[in-house]
Structure 1
Amino acid sequence: MFDHVKFGVSNFEASKTFYLNALEPLGIRLVSEGTPDYGVELSTDDESSLCLFQSDEKPAHLHIAFVADTRQQVDAFYHQALAAGGKDNGEPGLRPHYHASYYAAFVIDPDGHNIEVVCHQPAP
């Protein structure tokens, strides 16, 4: 859907650690890294990426949703994100008000951004 999303973070090392750990269940990994003011690029396939960089600016909070292939990936994201310093914003579960198979979890990252992982597949 997108080529890349890049946004500033207030604590580069804390955010890098958070995203690498929280998104590992989705196969997202570090693909490149520069100085903190340039940042890191995280990806699964090198076709689309999430980029973070150190910034003193105070941007508005954002909501990013990552797609999961399985509900187990959603669960793993949630637990790893909390262990990496994220704050609960909605435990894994169905959100039928979106659609019958919308299974998602929400975590607040170190800068207050709402990070979601969603699986659209029905239960096996």
Structure 2
Amino acid sequence: MFSHVTVGVRDLDAAAAFYDAILLPLGLRQREVTPDGGPAARCWIKPGQALPRFYAYEPFDRQPASAGNGSMLAFLADDEAQVRQAYAAGLQAGGSSEGEPGERPHYGKGYFGAYLRDPDGNKIHLVHRGDLG
């Protein structure tokens, strides 16, 4: 469905440390980003797959990055243990809690998730979708 998703960040190194912390447990890895004259960026993919991609960028217009009110990125985990591991790693890498790991039965049977804010305030959801089979 998606080619890629991008968030704006103020400190690319801090963002890279945070996203490595939460995405490595989910099986995603950084890939090299070739500079195109635009802003600095980092990219994560699932090994062996070209798409989808997740990017953290310094804003193209060189203005300060800001988190979108009402926007959220949800990263899929293989199981509840990955949600817990990624959540804990995200907190240690400078993130803040928006909701501890746990069942969310109001979203569906077997739905397990956690919520974080990255160092720039972007809202992140880590989710295992046991409700999808």
- Percent of aligned positions that are identical: 34
Q: Quick one: distance in 2 between partners of 1:70 and 1:37? A: 35
Contact 1:67–1:119, Cα closer than 8 Å, also in 2:
yes
Q: Quick one: distance in 2 between partners of 1:6 and 1:114? A: 13
Question: Which residue is 1:57 aligned to?
Answer: 64
What is the Cα-based RMSD across aligned positions, in Å? Answer: 1.7
Show structure 2 runs of 5+ residues with no match: none
1:81-103 C-alpha deviation (Å, 9 max, x unpaired) = 01111101111100111112110
1:41 to 32, 43, 49: 43
Amino acid at match of 2:91: L
The aligned length equals 122
Question: Which residue is 2:107 aligned to?
Answer: 98
Q: Quick one: distance in 2 between partners of 1:58 and 1:19? A: 16
Q: Residue 33 of structure 1: SS of its match in structure 2?
A: coil
Contact 1:69–1:121, Cα closer than 8 Å, also in 2:
no
Amino acid at match of 1:21: A
Q: Quick one: distance in 2 between partners of 1:38 and 1:15? A: 12
Contact 2:18–2:90, Cα closer than 8 Å, also in 1:
yes
Question: Which residue is 2:25 aligned to?
Answer: 25
1:40-98 C-alpha deviation (Å, 9 max, x unpaired) = 11111322110111133344243000111111110111111011111011111001111
Where does 1:45-124 land on structure 2 (aligned, <5 Å)? 45-55=49-59, 56-59=63-66, 60-61=68-69, 62-121=71-130
Contact 2:109–2:130, Cα closer than 8 Å, also in 1:
no
Contact 2:41–2:58, Cα closer than 8 Å, also in 1:
yes
TM-score under structure 2 normalisation? 0.83
Poorly superposed stretches of 4+, deviation over 4 Å: none
